[in-house]
């Protein structure tokens, strides 16, 4: 049965769920639902590189499976406007022509993003609202509202003849969200009455006991910050954290400060969110950064990007004093209103230290309630399971460690182990006659996006970059006499990233001599002999193995 | 006053405290106490590199200040046996001849370390015990016991005519430590009676509210692990975490498992700690790794290194299946009994995921009490201040963010702001007539240790490595005709770490042509013209700027 399903992509009555990203190492969320030879895509996310992915800007899911089935894609649903769910949209649209289903804010943020790449035209949008139901190919999709750290986020009830699947997307159960719009408990209960075959739920915080605090606690955090701030207040966060913008705006109004946004992405997102009325700003509240910098310090708050310590972000430049017009000064209160994404702890910490060194008072989430997670913790995960009462459970959105924890929780709540599938990117799961089984494993890999290149950086290139980054490079040029077959003069040697020149002159003289002798003696493959000689000499002298280029010219 | 002190290093009656490491960016702990032109060194630590210090093994403090004053160094005190307090000892001993004061265990661990570098002979040790008092130059040093995650750790009461300074070293107030030896409250109270001029205290956990849990809670954590483990138990921790070894040994005895150590450093440290009776192991408890691997899984526990996910460590190799004789199998229970050092979160997380993927049950500190911090939290810091009642306070051991938090706590307890000095590496503080003031700023920098090289990797080299790691390298060789001044043939171009070759052939053909034309047209500095042409062409084609080497030969 399983074997057959691997060879046959269009079994009648079989629902296939295929994660292309977001489960395991590639955190770029993208899930395929396939039924009756038709495909529904849920989310098109990107992931930011890990520290050892040298020179990579971001990573997108491998969509070759989708490209091979272009014509079968009936729709693309985006659950909310965060990068790890939207960031790969332009790469997908370059290959796939299908309508994009999104709520107004999510659509707005997607349009901003696509416009940057001149691809706004390529996108066909179907605006939906929480509560709507849409027929997409063989699927009937119920969109239901969920609380998250961005407004207008939705979860999905995906119905097909194979059964009803609830796909939460990113969510939390916040009883006092900033927009006063709680997660749709009633719809989840309704799903339970209809009978939920499978629940696919957000695992991000599966290691966190208890209940994620409400966004509301941040209001108190900001209130204290604004009350005590003598000079300027600067709040750094994500450009897509719209609800945080609202909270800062509210605090600014309460304390009679004007508000400025710094950073293109933040300005653009604030504009669209305001236009669509998800961000409610008093007309006279917002001023430009230039105006803000010329106002009395105690009268302004500036909101900017850089909460992850990105060196090129506004906050990153501020911490290094390298911003064109904006500088930190004694008396500034700087709030990092975000939690470090795993891998960014170090750069965030360094940014905090540098800002402190410049005399700013820096507030961050480990010392004050200026950020809360947008994801459900363990008790909320249990509530989700009890509200939906699924027959089968598949943890999504997380590394294996979180997926396993989430699975443990489901098992504790009475879901039999054989009804729980912990799967990673590429591992499909199939449902037929109400039964779940593992399906084919689709080959998936990282697609690295580096500068303008997509997928043109391979593991080999990455490996070379690693060697270069650890050991540096050495270029050796020798001119050989055609007639005598001997070197005409001492070779020219250049090195970069190897070791500091001035205190290694001996080594270089020794190296030149060694190269000269080797070239003089060589009778077979001079190139190879010299390369070897250089490698051995440098290792014996320095225990380092730089990348060596030997260029031999016969003159 | 201040000025004068800068120019004069040997003022009568002035105590100088000079941090060479451990305060701010360089976490390698090293502090100098200078009085009457004589110097006492406290700790000689190393720091492990941050993610962007490419190719660096570790970092040591810049001791040029000390080298210029060799003859004045009267003694070196090491507070405990952890790397960040001991790791630079061999580099210091290569320059400085002075007796090393250490407790038996600390001495034993130092001797193991020095023996590895054939420097055991160079070291002159003075074994001391908590409770001892020693005259070292103008200083009378009282050694007092402190609890930490390694036995036999001490804090210091450093007395001189200028006044009494209490230097805590790493400490916590643990009422139920593994070795049942609590921190010496009485001695601290005695210091208070004598009158403490200044307190220098560990700031590591200054952002942590409350009280650090006792090491004892780990016993319960391990008890649950051993009770539930069906197969082998593998515990990963630091090689110097002696008290953790004791706890694992106790659990092993309770549950009738034999214990093996894996990893040279762990085996060596266990040996010396056992020999000195700080590690109490039943004779028949310990077996070799080879024996353990051949025993019934349920009868063994293996303790190894790699709790930070270091790829070359035992656990790192296990997670990748690349260990020579040792492999993870279904049913293994693997415990990471340590907290990720800032910057290691990502590699630790990846290691956990890989071990899970290999079928092991992995236990780590965010899901079970298998590790506690060895450092005091906020309430303990307050207790330390109240026990000693210092006139002045200087937070030590931490990044600026922790030092600032610790200073805030001291201020909350009533120490006037002007009596608190938040200083970073190199900033000296002076005490005379019971008054504190900032002194000279000693120039300090990172000393990078890379392979066999010490200090031969400069910021420039690091910067080149960064470019190489991001963009790769491109080597261009052109042969020019002496007579015509034109290129004799198409140039040879080699690249590494740039982009994957096969899908960039067009770019390379275009580049060759561009180089040829540029060289043909060039009339001034061909080298420079070609370099520019290559840079511009590659940037316009790929938005990348690899490091370019152009080699021109006239033939």
CATH number for A40: 3.60.15.10
Q: What is the pLDDT of residue A39?
A: 98
Q: Say whether both B326 and B222 belong to one domain.
A: yes
Torsion of CA A238, A244, A246, A247, to 10 degrees: -150
Tell me if B152 is assigned to some domain. Answer: yes
Q: What is the pLDDT of residues A79-96, one digit of tens each?
A: 999 999 999 999 999 999
A499-525 in b/e burial notation, b at 16+ Cβ within 10 A? bbeeebeebbeebbebbbebbeebeee
Tell me if A368 is assigned to some domain. Answer: no
Tokens of B487: 């290129």
**B202 counts as catalytic:** yes
Tell me if A6 is assigned to some domain. Answer: no
Q: What is the pLDDT of residue B3?
A: 37
Q: Say whether both A226 and A340 belong to one domain.
A: yes
Q: What is the pLDDT of residue A1?
A: 33
Query: A-chain residues within 8 Å CB-CB of B476?
Result: none
Torsion of CA B402, B100, B262, B336, to 10 degrees: -10
CATH number for A223: 3.40.50.10710
Q: Say whether both B126 and B166 belong to one domain.
A: yes
Q: How far apart are CA A158 and CA A133, in angstroms?
A: 10
Kindly report the nearest CA distance between residue A90 and chain B, in angstroms: 18
Tell me if A9 is assigned to some domain. Answer: no
Q: Say whether both A291 and A418 belong to one domain.
A: no
* Pick from A40-54, A185-199, A270-284: least confident: A40-54
* Pick from B388-397, B433-442, B463-472: least confident: B463-472
Predicted-assembly ipTM surpassing the 0.85 threshold = no
Q: How far apart are CA A308 and CA A51, in angstroms?
A: 13
Q: Say whether both A381 and A349 belong to one domain.
A: no
Could you tell me if B551 lies within 8 Å of chain A, comparing CB atoms?
yes
Q: What is the pLDDT of residue A440?
A: 95
Could you tell me if B550 lies within 8 Å of chain A, comparing CB atoms?
no
Could you tell me if A512 lies within 8 Å of chain B, comparing CB atoms?
no
Q: Say whether both A425 and A351 belong to one domain.
A: no
The answer to whether residue A544 scores a pLDDT higher than 90 is no
Q: How far apart are CA B473 and CA B484, in angstroms?
A: 30
Q: Say whether both B445 and B489 belong to one domain.
A: no
Q: What is the pLDDT of residue A483?
A: 85
Q: Say whether both B493 and B526 belong to one domain.
A: yes
Backbone angles phi, psi at A75, to 5 degrees: -175, 160
Tell me if A25 is assigned to some domain. Answer: yes
Q: Domain end: B338, B361, B384, which one?
A: B361
Q: What is the pLDDT of residues B172-217, one digit of tens each?
A: 999 999 889 999 999 999 999 999 999 999 999 999 999 999 999 9
Contact A439/A2 with Cβ under 8 angstroms? yes
When the pLDDT of each residue in chain A is averaged and rounded to a whole number, the result is 91
Q: Say whether both B308 and B412 belong to one domain.
A: no
Kindly report the nearest CA distance between residue A354 and chain B, in angstroms: 8
Q: What is the CA radius of gyration of chain A?
A: 28
How many structural domains are present in chain B? 3
Kindly report the nearest CA distance between residue A539 and chain B, in angstroms: 10
Q: Domain end: B433, B451, B469, which one?
A: B451
CATH number for A537: 3.10.20.580
| Secondary structure class of A202 (helix, strand, coil) | strand
**Which of B91, B148, B371, B375 does the annotation list as catalytic?**
B375
Q: What is the pLDDT of residue B19?
A: 97
Tell me if A3 is assigned to some domain. Answer: no
Q: Domain end: B424, B451, B478, which one?
A: B451
Tell me if A367 is assigned to some domain. Answer: no
**B502 counts as catalytic:** no
Q: Say whether both B195 and B276 belong to one domain.
A: no
Q: Say whether both B204 and B276 belong to one domain.
A: no
Which residue range forms the structural domain that includes residue A428? 15-210+373-451
Q: What is the pLDDT of residue A10?
A: 53
* Pick from A168-172, B116-120, B192-196, B289-293: least confident: B116-120
Q: Look at A475 and B400 and tell me if their CB atoms are within 8 Å.
A: no
Query: B-chain residues within 8 Å CB-CB of A467?
Result: 497
Query: A-chain residues within 8 Å CB-CB of B497?
Result: 54-55, 461-462, 464-465, 467-468
Contact B338/B345 with Cβ under 8 angstroms? no
B55, B56, B206, B316: which to substitute to probe chain A, counting the most A Cβ within 10 Å?
Answer: B55
Tell me if A417 is assigned to some domain. Answer: yes
Contact B146/B183 with Cβ under 8 angstroms? yes
Comparison of pLDDT for A323 and A161, the residue scoring more: A161
Q: How far apart are CA B395 and CA B414, in angstroms?
A: 15
Q: Say whether both A390 and A493 belong to one domain.
A: no
């Amino acid at each position: 049965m399983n074997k057959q399903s691997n060879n046959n992509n269009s079994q009648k009555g079989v629902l296939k769920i295929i994660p292309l990203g977001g489960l395991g190492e590639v955190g770029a969320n993208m899930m395929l639902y396939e039924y009756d030879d038709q495909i529904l895509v849920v989310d098109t996310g990107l992931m930011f590189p890990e520290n050892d992915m040298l020179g990579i800007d971001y990573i997108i899911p491998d969509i070759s499976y989708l490209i091979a089935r272009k014509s079968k894609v009936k729709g693309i649903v985006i659950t909310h406007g965060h990068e790890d769910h939207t960031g790969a949209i332009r790469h997908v649209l370059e290959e796939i022509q299908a309508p994009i289903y999104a709520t107004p804010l999510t659509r707005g943020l997607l349009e901003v993003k696509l416009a940057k790449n001149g691809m706004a035209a390529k996108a066909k949008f179907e605006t939906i609202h929480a509560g709507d139901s849409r027929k997409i190919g063989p699927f009937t999709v119920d969109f239901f509202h969920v609380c998250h750290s961005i407004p207008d986020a939705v979860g999905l009830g995906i119905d097909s003849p194979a059964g009803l699947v609830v796909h939460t997307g990113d969510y939390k159960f916040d009883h006092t969200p900033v927009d006063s719009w709680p997660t749709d408990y009633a719809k989840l209960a309704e799903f339970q009455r209809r009978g939920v075959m499978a629940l696919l739920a957000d695992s991000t915080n599966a290691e966190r006991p208890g209940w994620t605090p409400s966004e509301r606690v941040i209001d108190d955090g900001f209130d204290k910050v604004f009350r005590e701030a003598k000079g300027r207040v600067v709040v750094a966060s994500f450009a897509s954290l719209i609800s945080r913008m609202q909270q800062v705006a509210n605090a600014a109004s309460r304390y009679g400060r004007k508000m400025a946004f710094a950073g293109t992405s933040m300005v653009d997102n604030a504009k669209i969110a305001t236009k669509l009325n998800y961000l409610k700003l008093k007309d006279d509240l917002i001023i430009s950064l230039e105006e803000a910098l010329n106002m009395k310090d105690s009268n302004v708050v500036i909101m900017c990007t850089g909460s992850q310590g990105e060196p090129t972000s506004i906050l990153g430049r501020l911490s290094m004093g390298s911003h064109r017009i904006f500088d930190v000064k004694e008396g500034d209160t700087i709030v990092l209103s975000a939690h470090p994404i795993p891998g960014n702890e170090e750069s965030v910490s360094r940014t905090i230290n540098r800002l402190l060194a410049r005399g700013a008072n820096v507030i961050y989430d480990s010392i004050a309630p200026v950020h809360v997670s947008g994801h459900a913790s363990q008790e909320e995960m249990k509530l989700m399971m009890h509200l939906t009462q699924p027959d089968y459970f598949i943890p999504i959105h997380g590394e294996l460690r979180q997926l396993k924890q989430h699975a443990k929780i489901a098992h504790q709540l009475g879901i039999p182990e054989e009804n729980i599938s912990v799967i990673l990117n590429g591992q499909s799961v199939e449902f037929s006659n109400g039964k779940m089984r593992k399906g084919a494993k689709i080959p998936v890999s990282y697609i690295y996006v580096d500068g303008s290149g997509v997928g043109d950086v391979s593991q080999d290139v990455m490996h070379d970059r690693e060697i270069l980054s650890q050991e540096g490079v050495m270029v050796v040029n020798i001119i050989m006499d055609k007639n005598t077959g001997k070197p005409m003069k001492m070779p020219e040697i250049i090195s970069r990233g190897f070791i500091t020149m001035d205190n290694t002159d001996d080594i270089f003289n020794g190296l030149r001599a060694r190269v000269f002798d080797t070239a003089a003696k060589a009778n077979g493959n001079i190139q190879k002999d010299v390369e070897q000689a250089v490698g051995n000499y440098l290792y014996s002298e320095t225990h380092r193995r730089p990348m060596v280029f030997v260029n031999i010219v016969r003159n």
